[in-house]
């Protein structure tokens, strides 16, 4: 009965490769997010989708392309991976479109680019 689930949990890949991370939420929420947590544990929002529509794109390189096939899914595709992309990526969801509501986070995907 996992609320927000993302796969894979670990991803090790070479520079230049393309990879995807999948996220699904079964909470019936309207809004989903992708956050990046760097090696110093700093959490920063990357994207926000409300009802499959992109509402926030926080100056993320074009190599990152989120895709929301429906309200319950928000996948993240990364092209031409770079060493600096190594981080933990968290998917999250919340009710409604306002940012002042509780966000439920997935367990994270640790991406290592070698």
Partner 1 sequence: GENVEQHPSTLSVQEGDSAVIKCTYSDSASNYFPWYKQELGKGPQLIIDIRSNVGEKKDQRIAVTLNKTAKHFSLHITETQPEDSAVYFCAATGGAVLSFGAGTTVTVRA
Contact residues for partner 1, defined by CB under 8 A: 4, 40-45, 48, 55-56, 58, 90, 92, 99-100, 102-108
Q: How far is the CB of 51 from partner 1 (least distance, A)?
A: 15
Q: Nearer Cβ to partner 1, position 14 or 42?
A: 42
Cα–Cα distance measured from residue 65 to residue 73, given in angstroms and rounded to the nearest whole number = 14
Write out the DSSP string of 34-57.
Answer: EEEE-TT--EEEEEEEETTEEEEE
Q: How far is the CB of 39 from partner 1 (least distance, A)?
A: 12
Q: Are 89 and 78 in contact (CB under 8 A)?
A: no
Q: How far is the CB of 98 from partner 1 (least distance, A)?
A: 9
Bridge partners for 58 per DSSP: none
Q: Nearer Cβ to partner 1, position 3 or 80?
A: 3
Pick from 12, 84, 21, 14: nearest CA to 47: 21
Q: Nearer Cβ to partner 1, position 10 or 18?
A: 10
């Amino acid at each position: 009965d996992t609320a927000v689930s993302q796969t894979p949990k670990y991803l090790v890949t070479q520079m230049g490769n393309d990879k995807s991370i999948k996220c699904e939420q079964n909470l019936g929420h309207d809004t989903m997010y992708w956050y990046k947590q760097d090696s110093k544990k700093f959490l920063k929002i990357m994207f926000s989708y409300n009802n499959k529509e992109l509402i926030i794109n926080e100056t993320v390189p074009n190599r990152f392309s989120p895709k929301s096939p429906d309200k319950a899914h928000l996948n993240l595709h990364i092209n031409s991976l770079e060493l600096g992309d190594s981080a933990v990526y968290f998917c999250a969801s919340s009710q409604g479109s306002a940012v002042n509501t509780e966000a439920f986070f997935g367990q994270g995907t640790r991406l290592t680019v070698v």
